[in-house]
Amino acid sequence: MSMDFYLKTLFIHQFRPDDTEIQWMEEPLAVTPALDSYFSKKLAKVFSDDAKRGQLEQDHPFWDYISDDNRGTSQALTQAWLEAFKVSENQKTNDLVFLRFEKDGQAYIAFLRMALKESLVHAGDSQKPLQLTQNVFPSAAQTPDEALVLNLETGRYFIIEKRIKSNGGFLNYFTEDFIQTQAQPSVKKAIKSIEQVAKKVADDFNRHDFQFDSKIKSAIHQNMEEEAVLSAENLANQLFEDNLTARLTFVDKLKDTVPDAVPINDIDSSRQLKKFENQKLSLSNGIELLVPNAVYEDADSVEFIQNPNGTYSILIKNIEDIQNK
């Protein structure tokens, strides 16, 4: 997936919990190469398996905040964020970043919340060479504390959010109150739900063993790599191909947490693909095996034998060369 961003407009406003007003930036910042690199890395973190995703319909009220006036849009979004965030019991200094950018020839905006940190800096003062500052940006490699990236042409959005503590409970204020949407689960969370539901259904039908766990990993990897989507129906057909009741049960139970098919072609899915490309087996005798899926599923390469006494033997075949690493 392409991760080239063309940053066009940058505003940074600041919220401090001891101030009653936002510190507004009146003019956009010049997008220097350093800022371009920093915020491009931040945006890439939003197009990831951590992001919730969804679609803003044309009549959604959130569009009312957005206009061709970049300063006005940045202020409207920041003010709307503040109205939602002010119920938080744990308020810190935050920079509120508004970006207008292009990706793959399409127009986007981004709204990022970044909590600033305290840090010692060498100030060059001979009397007080080390000074404490409370306005340190997080590193470029760190995911924004919260983020909205919105495709202005399609309405497709990507969200990173953290729950806030309010009145003794926890709120998903960013989606529910600020954007007012019900986002689809992230790819990471969807995969976790798929694994949990598949194992539970396998337990219910007395099908759960290490080979079934391996089957889950292989099916997830195949669907991500070949179909670029995780579909409950496709996974059910692969995991429970000979049991119609188990297939229907899996699809029904998964809808509670993953109601729709999960596309992965609009994010960087390399981390999840790498996670599921191999089978990692830990044996009771201390041996650990790392087997690529293609080899694991090839009966001419690996064979699992269940012995009469209930133990297993693993036969590894047709090895041309062995190296000690």
pLDDT tens track for 285-309: 999 999 999 899 888 999 999 899 9
Classify each residue of 32-41 as buried b or exposed e, where b means 16 or more C-beta atoms within 10 Å of its C-beta: eeeeeeebbb
Place of tokens 């392409």: 2
Distance CA 242, CA 218 (A): 17
The torsion region of residue 168 among left (phi > 0), alpha (psi -120 to 50) and beta comes to left
Q: Quick one: pLDDT at residue 203? A: 94
Q: Quick one: pLDDT at residue 277? A: 92
Q: What is the mean pLDDT of residues 106-135?
A: 79
- How far from the centroid of its chain's Cα atoms is residue 178's Cα? 19
Q: Quick one: pLDDT at residue 125? A: 66
Q: What is the mean pLDDT of residues 57-64?
A: 96
Q: Quick one: pLDDT at residue 128? A: 72
Strand partners, 109: 100, 150
The CA dihedral of 233, 237, 239, 241, to the nearest 10 degrees, is 150
Instruction: Please say if the pLDDT value at position 229 is more than 90.
Output: yes
Q: Quick one: pLDDT at residue 129? A: 74
Q: Quick one: pLDDT at residue 207? A: 83
Going by pLDDT thresholds of 50, 70 and 90, the confidence category of residue 87 is: confident
Instruction: Please say if the pLDDT value at position 17 is more than 90.
Output: no
Going by pLDDT thresholds of 50, 70 and 90, the confidence category of residue 1 is: low
DSSP three-state, residue 31: coil
Q: Quick one: pLDDT at residue 220? A: 95
- The percent of residues in the chain predicted with pLDDT above 90, rounded, is 73
Place of tokens 């931040």: 42
